[in-house]
Amino acid sequence: MTAVPRHLLPDTAVIGSDGRLVVGGCDVAALARSTGTPVFIYDEEHLRRRCREAVAAFGEGNVVYAAKAFLCRAMARLAVEEGLCLDVATGGELHVALSAGVPAGRLVLHGNNKSDAELRAALTAGVRHVVVDSDDEIDRIERLVASGLPAPRVQVRVTPGVYVHTHEYISTGQDDSKFGFNLRTGAARAAIARVVASPATRFAGIHCHIGSNVFAVANFVDAAAAMVDLAREVGAPEVTLGGGLGVAYVGDEQAPSITEWARHLDAATAALPAGTVVLVEPGRSIVAGAAITVYEVGTVKHIEGVRTYVAVDGGMSDNPRPVLYGSGYEAFVPDRAAADRTREVRIVGKHCESGDVLVSEAMVPADLAVGDLLATPVTGAYGHSMASTYNKVPRPPVVFVRDGEARTVVRRETLDDLVRLDEDGEPIAWRP
């Protein structure tokens, strides 16, 4: 197999005549040697271009970045600078966004089981709207408003009964789903009627999100058609069509661009009454391709007649996607990025699980050796945000690169961080 496919690398990536990968004007291998490994390196220009592409395609104010894909304060600020709103799905994401200085009016609260505390925080801050997911949640909002909090604008999450071509764990629009109100059974119409009638909620519109990493535009078009019919029927001022646009992770994958996605959604929503606002919530398609993760090879173990294992200094703790969804990745050596990859190996992490696989069948240069750096591209979404400290492996830092400058936006976790929450058996006054 040939060198790593160019379309999997961040926008500003250049492979020099010496074969070294440069992103954002920074030599990736030299940078990784100085930060230590593993490290997430994000191309800031790539992030900004995807945000601008989305705003150009859907309109200022209509793009809500799904922060679950990758969130830290620098990312929240970048998204807002580029004109995006943010979808926060928990009180924790809400806290990070607010602490980054994101105006509450640019925030959308999501979640299928929002607590009183999360709803109270969102209503107190004055978020743009809340996407309600259950009758129990509407009960909670009614109680909070009765206690003196302002009535929020509310979109009703609808499960439109659309089955998508993606992993079942990230498919959310089908009838059998924990998310939203079912359209077919009448639950969605009943919830909308309740929100319209309740003095505690101001009906802002309807919402759907059919799943993540979806490549088939037809799936989005089907969902949009169902939402358009419902929006006309109930007079929804706003319709959110979710995120979910897929990205290419491996060489033979091609995904629609954000602009193409918008073109299809635009056509699919043409029958909406004039003035209806259409919003989208892209996460992965904004951030996935912006980052690469750089590891160092610690062991190369050849098992005669079986395979070769290459173990790196991270693994399922910084990228759980292969374990969760069987996701594929490519790998390459950043200081020999143009090298032909002719040797098949299995890239594994350092965790105590046989399932700790990063790339099941990776092609790497034949001379890959202990001490080499090894990079996986397209790790900007659901990698850092899903990272854990399993086996007490500290989480890697996040570095943004741009115009030859590199800056740390999330520092590496330290060994001290790993014991920061431990207590010496503080007594709990649990008796009534």
Ligand X SMILES: Cc1ncc(COP(=O)(O)O)c(C=O)c1O
List contacts with ligand X (CB under 6 A).
Answer: 66, 68-69, 87, 110, 209, 212-213, 242-245, 281-285
Q: From the CB of 157, what's the least distance to ligand X, in Å? A: 7
Are 15 and 335 contacting, i.e. CB atoms less than 8 angstroms apart? Answer: no
Kindly state the tokens that stand for 200: 């505690």
Are 80 and 106 contacting, i.e. CB atoms less than 8 angstroms apart? Answer: yes
Residue found under tokens 């990230």 = 170
The bridge status of strand 238-240 relative to strand 202-207 is: parallel
Cis bond upstream, residue 152 (ω within 30): no
Q: From the CB of 111, what's the least distance to ligand X, in Å? A: 9
From CA 161, how far away is CA 222, in angstroms rounded? 10
From CA 345, how far away is CA 361, in angstroms rounded? 6
Are 86 and 76 contacting, i.e. CB atoms less than 8 angstroms apart? Answer: yes
51 is catalytic: no
Nearer to ligand X, 22 or 130 (CB): 130
Which entry of 72, 85, 208, 352 is annotated as an active-site residue? 352
272 closest CA partner among 235, 219, 317, 314: 235
Q: From the CB of 131, what's the least distance to ligand X, in Å? A: 7
Q: From the CB of 64, what's the least distance to ligand X, in Å? A: 8
Four-residue CA torsion sign, 249, 253, 257, 262:
negative
Q: Where are the beta strands (DSSP E) in 118-252?
A: 129-132, 153-159, 181-182, 202-207, 238-240
Nearer to ligand X, 67 or 311 (CB): 67
Nearer to ligand X, 265 or 363 (CB): 265
Nearer to ligand X, 246 or 396 (CB): 246
Nearer to ligand X, 65 or 400 (CB): 65
Are 346 and 309 contacting, i.e. CB atoms less than 8 angstroms apart? Answer: yes
Q: From the CB of 132, what's the least distance to ligand X, in Å? A: 12
Kindly state the tokens that stand for 267: 């056509």
Nearer to ligand X, 211 or 396 (CB): 211
From CA 363, how far away is CA 361, in angstroms rounded? 7
Q: From the CB of 364, what's the least distance to ligand X, in Å? A: 29
CB atoms within 10 A of CB 17: 6
Beta bridge partners, 280, equal: 63
Q: From the CB of 283, what's the least distance to ligand X, in Å? A: 3
Kindly state the tokens that stand for 397: 């830092």
Q: Where are the beta strands (DSSP E) in 170-260?
A: 181-182, 202-207, 238-240
Nearer to ligand X, 131 or 195 (CB): 131
Catalytic residues: 352
